[in-house]
């Protein structure tokens, strides 16, 4: 029986449940404590830094020969900016590291950091789009006058004609507040110096260990082999832990300079101030519709606030360029014009966060559909039916190729699950009783598992995408797969073990996945962009298939039959025709220790495999029912339905877990979480008392339905599923709120839809209707 | 910095004689002085609950309590939940119901739930959700945490000798 498709409890869990997980902070024993002194101002010139008389304090002047972080895109419209690892001469955001101190323990390090005084001549901060793009705006970086770091443009030939022919043109301006991934474990690293080898081992809470090693070695100017990076248990990442941060460079520099072990464990305030942020976008979009609701064209002006620096390695192009490329989403219109800009400001750097651009572009397209439906007198579900892509492969106006999916089918499934006719009756009754219920939908595509072609198309200097796997069955019949992906909570080890178990006929408990250690794994790109199951999974399947062939060859020789008659299952090699069996462990031992008997197979059972797919699109429809309290502006989500198609599910329980967590973060984006800067660039929401992730009290029960489309785009026929929840949820929630408040004639184009924002809209609507 | 003080912490039934500054939090003392790193630190301002332990059987944010305040009291951490190799019903339920992903919030949720289920084995669903809203999880959307705690609650009730007779 196949292991694929089973909700196997995770192999990762027993140690985590017993408190035996090893996160970075658990590996810091004996290391000196490192604390960064951060800029209290968003912009200004550094006039001087006063250090205390005693204690280890370092500033940019001490970092002789250390280069700046300088991520590159090879596009004419990209302006590279350099990020010094400690601020030199000037500061460009509040929270930027200016100095670093080292002391025997955390408390002493914090005492010492307080004695460092940074004298800054403040300058006016550029915080929002109006300040950054206005006439005569101050340049955040001298090399980028105008404050645009990257700009993409596209215009298909028939856009103007489509707008001229339109029965209805819908113009919208949408805003998304600034959010943070907020992994429960903040960033951190422990750098241990080995005086014998002259080598540093950096344990760090990261998603991309190999990339981090490359980045640090380049900036510090030493061979990569002088550094080992290990990502131990990682307490969530969601994208925030996939960039090269200055703190890690400084940590490794300190370990080498002081020749001692040092640990930096970020606190929550630092994580809010200086880890990466996300969202903060304004999308101004016009849609041209025919009278029957057919979407003819989209014309878009997309602005993404990318903060003070460009993130390494993916650069600040990640949000604006994905927004440009993927705005058309699941709809089949062919005329498309867009301008998309990444705008630099005196705020924390933006980096990928679960969903990247797509929560906002899905909100945009799904609001567009609802507004157009209302204006044209068409049901919101019906207008989507008339526009969703149905034939595959589908080529989008930006040239993306969508593999087989079930866009219409997932929507119909969600509509059915919601029982819309019954809901509409209940909604009418509730309204009569002064209660406001609404239903909302969101249909979207989730581009996942894309390899080097997708990144190369963006003009990236560093082109990620492939994965290598080294897989071996040892002489005892146990399997080790060394992967370049770097899971941090997804349960990837369990899912890969199930996949490999099927290929090799052993139970998953005999499969060990080795990840997150540059000394022990092939060069790889880590875990992000919903790629690991698809790409590392594909490489595992290929490598395990190759080892299975070797195993069969040896087993066949041992049983004097043909290799193609051997079947591997239940930890046994079956020679079906002759009704013989051999334990796989026995075959494995022979492969190593009796290799002279099997010259055709060669010794051992190990193989390497590479997988570098073009990518695959998952798809889903989210649907929800909300009740809005019009007195308080509070929103309660009554039901939340996800109809999802991610191809074959390797471990359905783990897939559902990814959807649950994604939806929670999407609901947070829709209703609760917002990082707010004041006009001077000071972050007002730098604690969990001010920034409000949902608790269990705010979360509805999430109902999940699966459809399975067999796509040839991946060799496992599994599609990525890590981000869909976050992508689809905001639009479904906002559409439901607008539906609930339709008696007031209110439209909502800004998230999070906080009680205050909803009350403002209601108050304005009442004033207008009474006035 | 004030002088260090000798403190004896009783954790999971075992005495730890440690010397700490008065300002040392219980969370830091458990992790750094007792070597019990199962208790995690997520925010250090009392909101996330990752550092929840039981002090005299009641859930406490160990980042908001000083180690010196725990002297003479009975502290329980995630390391004390399992009975040897046998997992506690809550640990088992979190495993079976997929109540954890990255695992960082898990010790805090396990201790919070242990405290409440021991004190109120028949707690209503509404009250249970209310109590569990004390802690943050970023991975699971809480869907399987509530399922796991409910499942463990019924198992713990079934195993409990009837108290009223």
Beta bridge partners of A229: A202
Whether B36 is in a domain gets the answer yes
Whether B165 is in a domain gets the answer no
CATH number, domain at B33?
3.10.20.30
Find out whether A356 and A374 touch, Cβ atoms under 8 Å: no
Question: What pLDDT is attached to residue B1?
Answer: 58
In the block, residue with structure tokens 């334990």: A583
Sign of the CA dihedral with A234 first, then A237, A242, and A245 last: negative
Order of strands across the sheet that contains A168-179: A148-155, A335-344, A295-307, A278-289, A168-179, A750-751
Question: What pLDDT is attached to residue A602?
Answer: 84
- With beta carbons under 8 A apart, name residues in chain B contacting A651: none
Task: Give me A370's structure tokens.
Answer: 């609802």
Domains and CATH numbers, chain A: 13-123+187-265 (3.90.1170.50), 278-452+614-770 (3.30.365.10), 466-611 (3.30.365.10)
Find out whether A685 and A752 touch, Cβ atoms under 8 Å: no
A6-32 average pLDDT score: 98
- With beta carbons under 8 A apart, name residues in chain B contacting A489: 101-104, 139
Whether B58 is in a domain gets the answer yes
Query: Are B69 and B93 in the same domain?
Result: no
The DSSP code for A148 is E
Cβ <8 Å between A695 and B136: yes
Domain C-terminal end among B46, B80, B114: B80
Alpha-carbon gap, residue A676 to A752, rounded angstroms: 12
Q: Does pLDDT of A771 surpass 80?
A: no
pLDDT bucket at A601, cuts 50 / 70 / 90 = confident
Using only C-alpha atoms, chain A has a radius of gyration, in whole angstroms, of 27
pLDDT in tens, B104-125: 999 999 999 999 999 999 999 9
Instruction: Tell me the pLDDT of chain B averaged across its residues.
Output: 95
pLDDT in tens, A498-547: 999 999 999 999 999 999 999 999 999 999 999 999 999 999 999 999 99
Distance (Å) from the alpha carbon of A546 to chain B's nearest alpha carbon:
31
- With beta carbons under 8 A apart, name residues in chain B contacting A236: 101-102, 104, 138-139
Residue A641: name the closest of A477, A443, A395 by CA.
Answer: A443
Alpha-carbon gap, residue A314 to B67, rounded angstroms: 44
Alpha-carbon gap, residue B67 to A428, rounded angstroms: 58
Sign of the CA dihedral with A497 first, then A214, A253, and A60 last: negative
Q: What percent of chain A has pLDDT over 90?
A: 98
Cβ <8 Å between A693 and B138: yes
Whether B164 is in a domain gets the answer no
Alpha-carbon gap, residue A86 to A147, rounded angstroms: 22
pLDDT bucket at B165, cuts 50 / 70 / 90 = very low
Cβ <8 Å between A9 and B98: yes
Query: Are B72 and B111 in the same domain?
Result: no
Instruction: Tell me the pLDDT of chain A averaged across its residues.
Output: 97
Query: Are B9 and B76 in the same domain?
Result: yes
Whether B107 is in a domain gets the answer yes
pLDDT in tens, A710-762: 999 999 999 999 999 999 999 999 999 999 999 999 999 999 999 999 999 99
Interface of A with B in 585-614 (CB under 8 A): none
Whether the upstream peptide bond of residue A393 has omega within 30° of 0, thus cis, is yes
Query: Are B32 and B71 in the same domain?
Result: yes
Range of the domain at B99: 89-159
Q: Does pLDDT of A549 surpass 90?
A: yes
Cβ <8 Å between A107 and B144: no
Query: Are B56 and B73 in the same domain?
Result: yes
Whether the upstream peptide bond of residue A752 has omega within 30° of 0, thus cis, is yes
Distance (Å) from the alpha carbon of B158 to chain A's nearest alpha carbon:
22
Q: Which residue of B has its CA nearest to A722?
A: B139
A470-481 average pLDDT score: 98
Query: Are B149 and B124 in the same domain?
Result: yes
CATH number, domain at B122?
1.10.150.120
Cβ <8 Å between A688 and B21: no
Query: Are B12 and B72 in the same domain?
Result: yes
Residue B29: name the closest of B17, B20, B42 by CA.
Answer: B20
b/e code A356-385 from CB counts within 10 Å (16+ = b): bbbbbbbbbbbbbbbbbbbebebebbebbb
CB-based burial label for A508 (10 Å; 0-12, 13-18, 19+): buried
Interface of A with B in 259-298 (CB under 8 A): 267-268
Alpha-carbon gap, residue A706 to A5, rounded angstroms: 12
**Closest by Cβ to A107, choosing from B21, B103, B140:** B21
Query: Are B112 and B141 in the same domain?
Result: yes
Cβ <8 Å between A695 and B39: no
Distance (Å) from the alpha carbon of B100 to chain A's nearest alpha carbon:
8
Find out whether A452 and A464 touch, Cβ atoms under 8 Å: yes
pLDDT in tens, A190-228: 999 999 999 999 999 999 999 999 999 999 999 999 999
Collapse the DSSP code of A441 into the 3-class scheme (helix H, G, I; strand E, B; otherwise coil) and give the result.
Answer: strand
A375-396 average pLDDT score: 98
Q: Does pLDDT of A680 surpass 90?
A: yes
Query: What distances in angstroms separate CA A138 from CA A20, A143, B138, one per listed residue?
Result: 51, 12, 38
pLDDT bucket at A1, cuts 50 / 70 / 90 = confident
Question: What pLDDT is attached to residue A149?
Answer: 98
- Best of B11, B90, B102, B112 to substitute, by most chain A Cβ atoms within 10 angstroms, is B102
Collapse the DSSP code of A605 into the 3-class scheme (helix H, G, I; strand E, B; otherwise coil) and give the result.
Answer: coil
Query: Are B103 and B60 in the same domain?
Result: no
Domain C-terminal end among B40, B58, B80: B80
Whether B29 is in a domain gets the answer yes
Whether B152 is in a domain gets the answer yes
Task: Give me A554's structure tokens.
Answer: 């040896």
The 3-state secondary structure of A180-199 reads CCCCCCCCEEEEEEECCCCE
Domain C-terminal end among B33, B54, B80: B80
Q: Which residue of A has its CA nearest to B23?
A: A107
Question: What pLDDT is attached to residue B164?
Answer: 45
Query: Are B93 and B72 in the same domain?
Result: no
A136-143 average pLDDT score: 96
Alpha-carbon gap, residue A553 to B149, rounded angstroms: 49
Cβ <8 Å between B133 and A696: yes
Q: Does pLDDT of A84 surpass 60?
A: yes
Q: Does pLDDT of B162 surpass 90?
A: no
Chain B contact for A472 (CB, 8 A cutoff):
no
Question: What pLDDT is attached to residue A411?
Answer: 98
Query: Are B74 and B109 in the same domain?
Result: no
Collapse the DSSP code of A520 into the 3-class scheme (helix H, G, I; strand E, B; otherwise coil) and give the result.
Answer: coil
Q: How many domains are contained in chain B?
A: 2
Whether B15 is in a domain gets the answer yes
Query: Are B9 and B61 in the same domain?
Result: yes
Cβ <8 Å between A488 and B102: yes
pLDDT in tens, A291-313: 999 999 999 999 999 999 999 99
């Amino acid at each position: 029986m196949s292991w694929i498709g089973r909700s196997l409890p995770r192999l990762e869990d027993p140690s985590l449940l017993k408190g035996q997980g090893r996160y970075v902070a658990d590996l810091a024993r004996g290391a000196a404590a490192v604390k960064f002194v951060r800029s209290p101002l968003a912009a200004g010139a550094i006039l001087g830094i006063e250090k205390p008389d005693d204690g280890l304090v370092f500033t940019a002047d001490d970092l002789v020969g250390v280069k700046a972080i300088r991520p590159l895109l090879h596009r004419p419209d990209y302006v590279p900016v350099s990020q010094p690892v400690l601020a030199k001469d000037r500061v460009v955001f509040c929270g930027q590291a200016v100095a670093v101190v080292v002391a025997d323990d955390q408390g002493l390090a914090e005492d010492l950091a307080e004695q460092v005084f940074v004298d800054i001549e403040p300058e006016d901060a550029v915080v929002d789009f109006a300040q950054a793009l206005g006439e005569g705006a101050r340049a955040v970086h001298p090399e980028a006058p105008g404050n645009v770091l990257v700009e993409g443009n596209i215009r298909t030939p028939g856009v103007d004609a489509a707008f001229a022919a339109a029965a209805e043109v819908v113009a919208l301006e949408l805003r998304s507040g600034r959010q943070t991934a907020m992994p429960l474990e903040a960033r951190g690293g422990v750098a241990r110096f080995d005086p014998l080898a002259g080598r540093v081992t950096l344990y760090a809470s990261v998603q991309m260990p190999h990339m981090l090693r490359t980045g640090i070695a380049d900036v510090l100017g030493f061979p990569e082999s002088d550094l080992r990076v290990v990502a131990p248990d990682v307490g969530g990442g969601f994208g925030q832990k996939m960039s090269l941060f200055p703190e890690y460079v400084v940590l490794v520099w300190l370990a080498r300079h002081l020749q001692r072990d040092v640990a930096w464990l970020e606190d929550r305030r630092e994580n809010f101030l200086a880890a990466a942020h996300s969202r903060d976008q304004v999308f101004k979009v016009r849609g041209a519709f025919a009278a029957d609701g057919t979407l003819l064209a989209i014309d878009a002006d997309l602005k993404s606030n990318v903060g003070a620096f460009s993130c390494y390695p993916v650069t600040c192009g990640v949000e604006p360029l994905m927004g440009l490329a993927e705005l058309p989403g699941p709809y089949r219109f062919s005329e498309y014009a867009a301008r998309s800009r990444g705008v630099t400001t005196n705020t924390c750097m933006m980096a990928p966060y679960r969903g990247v651009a797509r929560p906002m572009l899905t909100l945009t397209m799904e609001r567009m559909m609802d507004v157009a439906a209302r204006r044209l007198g068409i049901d919101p579900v019906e207008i989507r039916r008339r526009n969703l892509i149905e034939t595959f492969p589908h080529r989008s106006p930006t040239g993306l190729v969508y593999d087989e999916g079930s866009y219409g089918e997932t929507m119909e499934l969600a509509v059915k699950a919601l029982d819309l006719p019954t809901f509409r009756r209940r909604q009418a009754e509730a309204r009569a009783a002064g209660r406001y219920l609404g239903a909302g939908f969101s249909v979207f595509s989730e581009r996942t598992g894309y390899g080097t072609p997708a990144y190369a198309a963006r003009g990236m200097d560093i082109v990620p995408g492939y994965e290598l796997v080294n897989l071996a069955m040892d002489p005892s019949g146990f399997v080790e797969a060394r992967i370049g992906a770097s899971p941090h909570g997804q349960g990837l080890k369990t899912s890969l073990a199930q996949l490999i178990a099927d290929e090799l006929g052993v139970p998953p408990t005999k499969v060990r996945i080795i990840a997150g250690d540059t000394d022990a794994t092939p060069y790889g790109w880590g875990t992000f962009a919903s790629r690991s199951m698809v790409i590392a999974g594909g490489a595992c399947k290929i490598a395990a298939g190759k080892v299975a062939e070797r195993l069969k060859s040896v087993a066949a020789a041992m049983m004097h039959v043909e290799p193609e008659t051997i079947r591997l299952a239940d930890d046994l090699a079956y020679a079906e025709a002759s009704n013989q069996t051999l334990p796989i462990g026995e075959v494995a031992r022979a492969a190593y220790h009796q290799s002279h008997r099997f010259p055709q197979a060669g010794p051992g059972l190990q193989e390497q495999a590479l997988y570098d797919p073009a990518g695959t699109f998952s798809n889903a429809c989210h649907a929800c029912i909300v009740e809005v309290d019009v007195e308080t502006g509070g929103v309660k989500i009554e039901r939340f339905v996800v109809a999802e198609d991610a191809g074959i599910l390797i471990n359905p329980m783990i897939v559902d877990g990814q959807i649950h967590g994604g939806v929670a973060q999407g609901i947070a984006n829709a209703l609760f979480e917002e990082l707010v800067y004041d006009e001077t660039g000071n972050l007002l929401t730098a604690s969990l008392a001010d920034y409000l992730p949902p608790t269990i009290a705010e979360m509805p029960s999430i109902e999940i339905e699966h459809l399975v489309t067999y796509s040839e785009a991946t060799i496992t026929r599994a599609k990525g599923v890590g981000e869909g929840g976050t992508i689809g949820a905001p639009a479904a929630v906002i559409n439901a709120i607008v539906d609930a408040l339709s008696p007031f004639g209110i439209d909502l184009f800004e998230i999070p839809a906080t009680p205050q924002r909803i009350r403002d809209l209601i108050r304005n609507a009442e004033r207008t209707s009474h006035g | 910095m004030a002088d260090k003080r000798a403190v004896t912490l009783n954790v999971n039934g075992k005495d730890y004689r440690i010397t700490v500054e008065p300002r040392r939090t219980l969370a830091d003392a458990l992790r750094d002085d007792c070597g019990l790193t199962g208790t995690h630190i997520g925010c250090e301002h009392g909101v996330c609950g990752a550092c929840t332990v039981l002090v005299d059987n009641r859930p406490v944010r160990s980042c908001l309590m000083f180690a010196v305040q725990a002297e003479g009291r009975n502290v329980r951490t995630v390391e004390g939940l399992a009975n040897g190799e046998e997992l506690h019903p809550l640990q088992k339920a979190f495993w079976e119901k997929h109540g954890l992903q990255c695992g960082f919030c898990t010790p805090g949720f396990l201790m919070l739930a242990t405290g409440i289920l021991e004190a109120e084995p028949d707690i209503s669903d509404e009250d249970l959700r209310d109590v569990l809203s004390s802690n943050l999880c970023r991975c699971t959307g809480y869907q399987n945490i509530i399922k796991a705690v409910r499942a463990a609650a019924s198992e713990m009730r079934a195993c409990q000798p009837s108290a009223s007779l």
